[in-house]
Chain A
Amino acid sequence: NAGVTQTPKFRVLKTGQSMTLLCAQDMNHEYMYWYRQDPGMGLRLIHYSVGEGTTAKGEVPDGYNVSRLKKQNFLLGLESAAPSQTSVYFCASSYSLSGGLTDTQYFGPGTRLTVL
């Protein structure tokens, strides 16, 4: 099993360009998450999904869109990139046990995005 994979690993964009980050998991997990990590701020939730075809907003959703057309994939889109979106992006997946209280989130290796 590959676990959680993210594509691409690195990307440099110019302001105003668009791109899509792909997250794939092979563990048949229901829940998937997109986070961004910035120095001194831990991880902040952008969007998440509790199942195929459903998405919801997290703490910092502005400027991002997501789609979950297939259970194993969760896409994060930037329609018009801004320098403030320079960050490391992590995808995670989990499945629900015991009412979700003890879920383990499995993280991908991250995508380092720079917006000039």
Chain B
Amino acid sequence: DTGVSQDPRHKITKRGQNVTFRCDPISEHNRLYWYRQTLGQGPEFLTYFQNEAQLEKSRLLSDRFSAERPKGSFSTLEIQRTEQGDSAMYLCASSFDSTLKAEAFFGQGTRLTVV
């Protein structure tokens, strides 16, 4: 297992189009997180899955955003009707548990540019 992988690494889309990103976590990790990182800022929490259940969503996750983790393995994040403000790096992370010291392993992210 080579770690958390995300696909695609880069996505350029026109405003109004839908986009979908994929995250494959480390196989034995049942916790999966999505974060968004804008230029010059730290990552901000979007949503959290434990196995296939989406247990928490940030208020940053507008109605245009939806995330799934259908079989408790890989996850997808879809953005509908993209806006220029959606341009950011979308990071996926996984961890073995949610204890305080649990290390979150991050993927390399998907950089979205909305033109």
Chains A and B form a bound pair: no
> B-side interface residues toward A, CB under 8 Å?
none
> A-side interface residues toward B, CB under 8 Å?
none
